[in-house]
Amino acid sequence: MSKLDVLVVGAGPTGMTAAIELARRNVSVRIVERRTTPSTSSKALVMHARTLELMDILGVADEMVHRGYTSPGIEFSANLEKPLRANAHKLDTQFSYILILPQAETEEILERYLNKLGIKIERGCTLTGFSETENAVRCTIERAEGGTFEINASYIVGADGVHSMVRKTLDLPFEGYRYGWTAFLGDVRLHGHHAEGGTEQHFSNRGLGFIVPFKDGSHRIVTIDHDYQGDLETRELKLEELQNSISSILEKPVELTDPKWLTRWGSSLRIVPQYRVGRAFIGGDAAHTHSPAGGQGMNTGIQDAFNLGWKLAFVIKGEAPEALLNTYNSERYPLGKRALRVSNLLIRSLRLRQNLLRKLRQALLSIVIPLPPVQRKITITLSGLGVRYKTGDGKLAGVRMPDMELMNAEHEKVRLYKLLSFPGYTLLLFIGPDQAQSAREQIEQILCNADDMLKSHVILNSGLPKLHNFKASTLVDYRGDFENKIGSKTGRIILVRPDAYVAFDLAALDPDAFKKQLRKWKTERSIPPETPILQEMPLQGSRSLTCS
């Protein structure tokens, strides 16, 4: 029986991201998947900005964007003549839009990355149960062709979807309820309605309809139609039924042809009370499930996996205290609950049945959606960019580092997120050219802390990087992004976690204080019952955080 560091169960987006995050830090990992072939049905279509930023760190965002379709925002069209759109283009990110990319393609890209790291998905392998010993988990796997085998691992990650065996084995309750409605879904050609610009939501007396355009000109159509409720969920969906349903909701006849996928499905609103039990972790749909409204499910799952992967790798390699693993639950559980709240609010408000309430909602939406603060609130919340964790000391601690454009000594433009692809911590010393001279000794002492797990960069607020001969790459913040985007003054030390959130920061170039903070972070991390703060991130070119 082989012993490995981590067994990941389930090769959906959550499991593959977790396996990638472990494997790229040279942690031994296996990933088992019940299905014998990759999935071809694309449940999730929407990828939000924060997920794309994480994909950028992995170096696969460009391919995703290239293969997908960028939608400027979410349209609350409500069959109105003038579309009401929550625009994403003012978000301070490299990805200020919603990416429409079928989940099967996202999975294909992630699997290729995993293969490049030397990990093959073990398909046709179903986890049937596991037990925990003092320092391992013993897992039983059933082969599709018959027979079982065992895997002994230090940790198990349950990314095995809504019917998770890992969750059931842990005896964790999946608290919540099942929605009373059934939805229709079809990937089809749509004639008689033009929906090119965004992800449209329509409602009428008949119910609710979503229309999402694909790059090839076809559309995903989803309806929750009052006239078709009470049908057996298992009954096959006919193209004419979907056509009738969407025509009624749009209040005009449209024609549907060339169905690629037709299904009906129901949804639940559920979450587990904790994401960690001993050596077992769960994430993605195994931990939380809700309606697809707002496109939060896959995005939340990928972000769970990204949060867990580096922490687990660091602990396995002895680079972080075991207690760091508890922050997976304290950081991600509240966000799982929030995803449930957001999608529930959206689906309930969109599904209002009474005529008067619907008219009121329509009138209200026409007034509030165009308001800039409302636009910002909707897009910040759905994009995932507004999350701030409680991580450590400093005014920037827990803030998501926005991307910035810097310039290196060779006058080449370098994006901060390219630097953040380093799998350890990234240390940013933000200084002025005068400090490069006057505080050289302190700076060199701080830079001495660099090792395999910590990479340093000196960032000048102006001047020429090549004039300073530091033992670290030196770049210039030629656009003033540190000041404009995070309100940072020079003379600041910022330690960034591998998931691009600030671990801690210091407002002085003090080598002793830095060493103390670093030691605290790496060895003594205490685990307060942290809750993420939803933070209003600045819009392009504006400033909302100030540090003295």
Ligand X SMILES: Cc1cc2nc3c(=O)[nH]c(=O)nc-3n(C[C@H](O)[C@H](O)[C@H](O)COP(=O)(O)OP(=O)(O)OC[C@H]3O[C@@H](n4cnc5c(N)ncnc54)[C@H](O)[C@@H]3O)c2cc1C
Which residues would be at the binding site for ligand X (CB under 6 A)? 9-15, 32-35, 43-46, 103, 126-127, 159-161, 165, 185, 265, 284-285, 292, 295-299, 301
Contact between 484 and 500 (Cβ < 8 Å): no
The least CB distance from residue 118 to ligand X, in Å, is 20
The least CB distance from residue 316 to ligand X, in Å, is 22
The least CB distance from residue 300 to ligand X, in Å, is 7
The least CB distance from residue 104 to ligand X, in Å, is 10
DSSP string over 245-308: HHHHHHTS--EEEEEEEEEEEEEEEEE-S-SEETTEEE-GGGTEE--STTS-HHHHHHHHHHHH
Q: Determine the Cα–Cα distance for residues 127 and 125; give it in Å rounded to an integer.
A: 7
Closer to ligand X by Cβ: residue 96 or 426: 96
Closer to ligand X by Cβ: residue 51 or 426: 51
Closer to ligand X by Cβ: residue 44 or 506: 44
Closer to ligand X by Cβ: residue 380 or 503: 380
Closer to ligand X by Cβ: residue 77 or 223: 223
What does the buried/exposed string (b/e) look like for 389-400 if buried means 16 or more CB atoms within 10 Å of the residue's CB?
bebbebbbbbbb
**324: which DSSP letter?**
G
Contact between 173 and 337 (Cβ < 8 Å): no
The least CB distance from residue 279 to ligand X, in Å, is 17
Q: Determine the Cα–Cα distance for residues 497 and 399; give it in Å rounded to an integer.
A: 10
The Cα-based distances of 431 to 69, 447, 547 in angstroms read 40, 13, 14
The least CB distance from residue 417 to ligand X, in Å, is 21
Q: Determine the Cα–Cα distance for residues 206 and 248; give it in Å rounded to an integer.
A: 6
Does residue 503 sit in helix, strand or coil?
Answer: strand
Contact between 498 and 310 (Cβ < 8 Å): yes
Closer to ligand X by Cβ: residue 21 or 160: 160
Residue 466's CB is within 10 A of a number of other CB atoms, namely: 12
The least CB distance from residue 25 to ligand X, in Å, is 20
Closer to ligand X by Cβ: residue 9 or 280: 9
Q: Determine the Cα–Cα distance for residues 237 and 189; give it in Å rounded to an integer.
A: 16
The least CB distance from residue 420 to ligand X, in Å, is 23
Closer to ligand X by Cβ: residue 159 or 429: 159
